[in-house]
Amino acid sequence: MPETAPLRSAFYISDSTAITAETLGHSLLTQFEGVHFRQLRIPFVNSAEKAREAASRIEQAAREDGSRPIVFTTLVEPELNRILRGSPGFCISLFETFIAPLEAELGVKSTHTIGRSHSFNDNSDYQDRLEAINFALAHDDGVTMSGLDEANVILVGVSRCGKTPTSIYLAMQFGIKAANYPLIPEDFERGHLPDGLERFRQRMFGLTIQPERLQKIRNERRPNSRYAALDNCRYEVAEAERLMRREGIRWLDSSTKSIEEISTTIMQEIQLERNSF
Amino acid sequence: MPETAPLRSAFYISDSTAITAETLGHSLLTQFEGVHFRQLRIPFVNSAEKAREAASRIEQAAREDGSRPIVFTTLVEPELNRILRGSPGFCISLFETFIAPLEAELGVKSTHTIGRSHSFNDNSDYQDRLEAINFALAHDDGVTMSGLDEANVILVGVSRCGKTPTSIYLAMQFGIKAANYPLIPEDFERGHLPDGLERFRQRMFGLTIQPERLQKIRNERRPNSRYAALDNCRYEVAEAERLMRREGIRWLDSSTKSIEEISTTIMQEIQLERNSF
């Protein structure tokens, strides 16, 4: 980004966490490469007073930047949206834009309830998600085989290929119970999966990684170690792929994929549905 | 939800993970209480062939449901959107709706690059996020005090009040380095924080919880234990609050808040900005 790139402020404003407004707004802004955005989230704007406070922060940013801030809102209350539209911001009201057409299509009035999407629900959905997070932590890095029959998926692969963050993301975002199990030299020498693990083969999914990238990641953790040496990374990756091929375990290369892409691909490949929202 | 609630299919379709489309779409649908939605995500629709496959899934759902499916897309390619609009779905194209007005406002053409938002970037942002996840795991449950000076926030509170999922969410969603430290009977008897921890007081944030809710959560983990007994939960919560008050640590009650709400509130209270997208 050159220093001379124009600066624009972008606000994400909601009566709840503003995570939805931020997710879509940020996604839209990534389409504009030549502009540098200063992004600010203003959550819990659930009264006229807080909306006026937000409006004056927008006004201040407009003065400082010398340009109109972009404002993404998921406010349900028309009155609060009206207050923000009175500011100098360029307002994109996500709910106002789509709620009316959806009401017409569904033939149902919306409830106009604030903060439904990321709010606390003492329901089984939310409990499932917390339970999945606990499950991922309890079944990280092959800590235990007990309870593995509850796993929706068991990720396997060499150390540092992305199993742990993927397991946690699957739990956090989708309520999926993901265990993960490292493939280590003992597995390669034995030539097959550990005995307790074999019966779960159908639920396994492998991650592999380019040896050069693995070397870089391991080297940050244990600089100049045998563990991080390129020839060792090459050996482990080749052996892990050989083992997975022999065992009929599907896998993907995580080297150039985000946690979101890895998780989404796994769900698609083994037809996992999300367990919670 | 009564059995007779009308059923509608809802599709979230994108050239990338479809997480953005799903986040906003789901958020809009939570505003319609009387309708039961069967929600389906179709990611990686990045060719005309895949768009046609998606269109026929929409068509099939329309036939089965006897109603038009609602289709949320974040497709960048106009041609792929066009193919989906040829299906019987009620299409809400999030990018098409907002990209043109944003181009006009910013005076810049969008890059029309697919999958920018949740894709892999070998940049410092993404590395920061992975590092934050590793940090949260390494500093969970007071495992170690080493490296605590790197923490953006240190969560404290009694066992099972929500510290671990919150720490991980802060890391995963915002790239924030969050450690967490349990307050235990020894801390209550001593009457102040452990010595190594006191110098981080400014970065601490407390979670508390209603004793009745704590009992329920602990009882699932260790049924009928002293640990889960209501009088013990009452004692621990009261002592933890007393300790936090004495030490000048701000706190919130997690009992009726989601992980997203807790995290957002903490960031607002101690003015933490996100470190990564």
How large is the average pLDDT for residues B260-269? 96
% of chain B beyond a pLDDT of 70: 96
C-alpha–C-alpha distance, residues A27 and A30, integer Å:
5
pLDDT band at residue B1 using 50, 70 and 90 as cut-offs: very low
% of chain A beyond a pLDDT of 90: 82
pLDDT value of position A144: 87
Pseudo-torsion of CA B240, B242, B245, B248, nearest 10°? -60
pLDDT value of position A1: 45
Chain A closest CA to B52's CA: distance in Å? Answer: 18
Dig out the tokens for A130 from the structure: 């917390």
Cβ-Cβ contacts under 8 Å between A and B: the total is 187
Pseudo-torsion of CA B257, B259, B265, B271, nearest 10°? 170
Q: CA nearest A95: which of A120, A78, A107?
A: A78
B112 contacts A45 by C-beta, under 8 angstroms: no
Per-residue model confidence as pLDDT tens digits over B180-202 = 999 999 999 998 998 889 899 99
pLDDT band at residue A159 using 50, 70 and 90 as cut-offs: very high
Chain A closest CA to B192's CA: distance in Å? Answer: 29
List the single residue in B106, B257, B263 with the smallest CB-CB distance to A120: B257
Per-residue model confidence as pLDDT tens digits over A225-264 = 999 999 999 999 999 999 999 999 999 999 999 999 999 9
A7-106 shares its CATH topology with A124-269 = yes
pLDDT band at residue A126 using 50, 70 and 90 as cut-offs: confident
List the single residue in A99, A122, A258 with the smallest CB-CB distance to B120: A258
How large is the average pLDDT for residues B131-135? 94
ipTM of this complex: 0.92
pLDDT value of position A124: 74
Residue in the block written with tokens 């890059």: B111
CB within 8 Å: A33 and B118: no
CA-CA-CA-CA torsion sign (A83, A84, A87, A93):
negative
Residue type, B157: G
Residue A5 has pLDDT above 70, yes or no: no
The rounded mean pLDDT for chain A is: 93
Residue in the block written with tokens 């479809």: B18
B258 contacts B108 by C-beta, under 8 angstroms: no
pLDDT band at residue A119 using 50, 70 and 90 as cut-offs: confident
A157 contacts A168 by C-beta, under 8 angstroms: no
Within 8 A of B137 by CB-CB distance, chain A residues are 137, 140, 164
Within 8 A of B258 by CB-CB distance, chain A residues are 118-121, 126
A91 is in an annotated binding site: no
B98 contacts A92 by C-beta, under 8 angstroms: yes
Per-residue model confidence as pLDDT tens digits over A21-52 = 999 999 999 999 889 999 999 999 999 999 99
A209 contacts A256 by C-beta, under 8 angstroms: no
Q: Which of A167, A260, A266, A272 to mutate to test the interface with B (most CBs of B within 10 A)?
A: A260
Residue A185 has pLDDT above 70, yes or no: yes
Within 8 A of B108 by CB-CB distance, chain A residues are 32, 34-35
Residue A182 sits at the vertex; the CA angle it makes with A176 and A185, to the nearest 5 degrees, is: 165
What's the CATH superfamily of B124-269?
P-loop containing nucleotide triphosphate hydrolases (3.40.50.300)
Within 8 A of B264 by CB-CB distance, chain A residues are 17-19, 41, 43-44
Residue type, A54: A
Spell out the domain ranges in chain B.
7-106, 124-269
Whole-number Cα distances in Å, A145 to A196, A198, A270, B252: 7, 11, 21, 36
pLDDT band at residue B277 using 50, 70 and 90 as cut-offs: confident
CATH number for the domain running over B7-106: 3.40.50
Chain A closest CA to B168's CA: distance in Å? Answer: 8
pLDDT value of position A268: 95
Within 8 A of B19 by CB-CB distance, chain A residues are 23, 173, 260, 264
C-alpha–C-alpha distance, residues A117 and A100, integer Å:
18
Name the residue with higher pLDDT: B7 or A239.
A239
pLDDT value of position B4: 61
Per-residue model confidence as pLDDT tens digits over B188-242 = 999 899 888 989 999 999 999 999 999 999 999 899 999 999 999 999 999 999 9
Per-residue model confidence as pLDDT tens digits over B71-123 = 999 999 999 999 999 999 999 999 999 999 999 999 999 987 766 677 776 66
CA-CA-CA-CA torsion sign (B263, B264, B265, B267):
positive
A228 contacts A219 by C-beta, under 8 angstroms: yes
pLDDT value of position B6: 80
CA-CA-CA-CA torsion sign (A223, A224, A230, A233):
negative
pLDDT value of position A122: 60
Residue A2 has pLDDT above 50, yes or no: no
Per-residue model confidence as pLDDT tens digits over A72-118 = 999 999 999 999 999 999 999 999 999 999 999 999 999 877 666 77
C-alpha–C-alpha distance, residues A238 and A18, integer Å:
45
Per-residue model confidence as pLDDT tens digits over B35-61 = 999 999 999 999 999 999 999 999 999
